[in-house]
Structure 1
């Protein structure tokens, strides 16, 4: 499995996402919690323009539900082949949470397809599957070896999504996007964000990544009047204090 993403380049990750959309290979997206793996998975699906649906199987659930999810996924792949329907994209979210016996079930399924000739080997690698895993959890998992073996068999393209603290050039664009979504959902007219408030966002390290940024913008926009812009006073106290502490010179501490 090829890892194609550098760790500190916004341009590079978008180039690799573009490369994935132009291929038919199964893709694994890895990164910290909240970095936007679902967003990039949907971007790949929409850009491939296969005409099918974007189907999400979320493994962040109970053990019983994970078993059901695996069986539903297997059935969906088989029916798609038999019915020759438009090609769906299957996102298996947090695939690293699957227990060893469920990974074995998926591996056996792939082996069975291969042996029976139901799919050519090249087709198995291009089923339209996108997996996502959380980097830190994957490193601690006792099923690490089995997971790595399964991932290397089914996925041929691995994209590591860097944390937001390494992609701060994207923050202005993300802020405008979240303000637009807020206005649409809440029927509001917040115009944007002041340069002073944006500078604070750019200096913050975002431990919870994009999810935290969206929550911050939604909260600040709620406190902003229509036809106004988000100001530093609208940002959360925890965020502004963190930035002030970060910028405080040693003699003042």
Structure 2
């Protein structure tokens, strides 16, 4: 029996307190997990012949268990040796409630102490873990050599030549079969005047395809005019496309030709066509139907011969369904549709594009061409490139600015190094039973929520636990389970 804390009525420590309580009553409460209340222990039949009760001349005694689930982990003991009936049922309920709270506090303290001990054990095993990591690293290097061999094959120039094509598409860096199929379509429509709609994610090279169409056509000696519809204010769109006469509005001190007149005989490339104002969509439809325009402030109609190539990073058919785009204009523009694949679907092009951007950067900076380590190339090949070719070009330009002679993994952006991917949820594959899949998904969500809450609370665990609606020990256990550590 061990007394952790003792006080008398004057709030003073009781010396040798182990010998000043009834160990028999304490033992009874510990074993039964039930409280003991007596108004006169000297005359209570339950304690007849018990030396500690008789020897201490106990009168009023109240002893309640500190309960942890179904067992007692200690007791709260009160006695009075001078008066009978000091404690009653009210005091029993009050002290038991206090004891229950005290037991919870003790449990939390023990959990914290256990967590601290585990942390110390983890620190002691660090050397062992590091040694195991070295062995694992050697094994990974062996695997990486095999992987590098496969990457080099993918990085080498294609053994199969481009298919025989009528026109030159050398300005488009690719060895992708998907792009070769697009070139075959371009061969068929280059010299026709039919409108072409190019669809694809941002950064996939829609303007490059439009330029290839123009400069491989009979219109190549005329102007290729490119305009982003989303960059023109609605109030200026009509005058930008059709031009204006002198005096048409305040500030119009001279005649200005619009994009249609500038592109007359050539090609007008309308990027982000889905962003065009509805009123302007109506006027564009009229131009496509009639083949003529009228300048703002003018009366004369002007015949124009312009091939329209439009582009959009949205599904234009869906925009029509949502009433965001005119259906009749859509059918006028959508005579030939070209769907460009994202870079993640043509990863065989990444080594070629990297080499092209390295050469381009070297010429621009007037410095020797830099190289890319195999490890860095592996990372570039593994990343999904949500920004497509444009994002890859920006990454190479950034890496060239930060590196000396060779681009290594430590030079690459944190997004690439952390292995983050941008994928459609629909493309995610699952393995295992439904219960296993749901469990894994729930754990991923729980880990992410805990980490975000800790960061929001500046890693103050008590605040994070309160925000999450869980106890501090529970938070500690979950942090250990998910290996959540604050980065230094």
- Whether 1:110 aligns to 2:288 is yes
Q: Which deviations, in whole Å up to 9, do the C-alpha atoms of 1:70-123 show, x marking residues without a partner?
A: 324995545766xxxxx3221111111112111101112233338xxx98xxx9
Q: What is the match of residue 131 of structure 2?
A: none
1:17 and 1:229 map into 2 onto residues whose CA distance is 38
Give how far 1:66 is off.
2.8
1:31 and 1:136 map into 2 onto residues whose CA distance is 8
1:106 and 1:32 map into 2 onto residues whose CA distance is 24
Give how far 1:12 is off.
2.1
TM-score scaled by length of structure 1? 0.75
2:280 and 2:312 map into 1 onto residues whose CA distance is 15
More deviation in 133-142 or 191-200? 133-142
1:175 and 1:32 map into 2 onto residues whose CA distance is 20
Give how far 1:171 is off.
1.1
Q: Which deviations, in whole Å up to 9, do the C-alpha atoms of 1:180-219 show, x marking residues without a partner?
A: 2212222222233233222211110111111111110101
More deviation in 216-225 or 152-161? 152-161
The one of 204, 209, 215 aligned to 1:35? 204
Q: Which deviations, in whole Å up to 9, do the C-alpha atoms of 1:11-38 show, x marking residues without a partner?
A: 3233333434354432111111221111
2:263 and 2:211 map into 1 onto residues whose CA distance is 19
Q: What is the match of residue 217 of structure 1?
A: 396
More deviation in 72-81 or 62-71? 72-81
- Say if 1:178 and 1:80 are closer, same or farther in 2 by CA, change over 3 A: closer
Aligned-pair Cα RMSD in Å: 3.3
TM-score scaled by length of structure 2? 0.41
Higher gyration radius (CA) = 2
- Say if 1:79 and 1:184 are closer, same or farther in 2 by CA, change over 3 A: closer
- Say if 1:44 and 1:109 are closer, same or farther in 2 by CA, change over 3 A: closer
Structure showing greater relative contact order (alpha-carbon pairs closer than 8 Å, 6 or more residues apart): 1
Count of residues in Structure 1 that have an aligned counterpart in Structure 2: 226
Q: What is the match of residue 3 of structure 1?
A: none
- Contact (CA 8 Å) 1:60, 1:94: kept in 2 or not? yes
1:44 and 1:131 map into 2 onto residues whose CA distance is 12
- Contact (CA 8 Å) 1:59, 1:69: kept in 2 or not? no
Structure 1 residue ranges without an equivalent (≥5): 1-7, 82-86
Structure 2 residue ranges without an equivalent (≥5): 1-176, 245-256, 293-301, 424-439, 441-481, 484-488
**SS of residue in 2 equivalent to 1:190:** coil
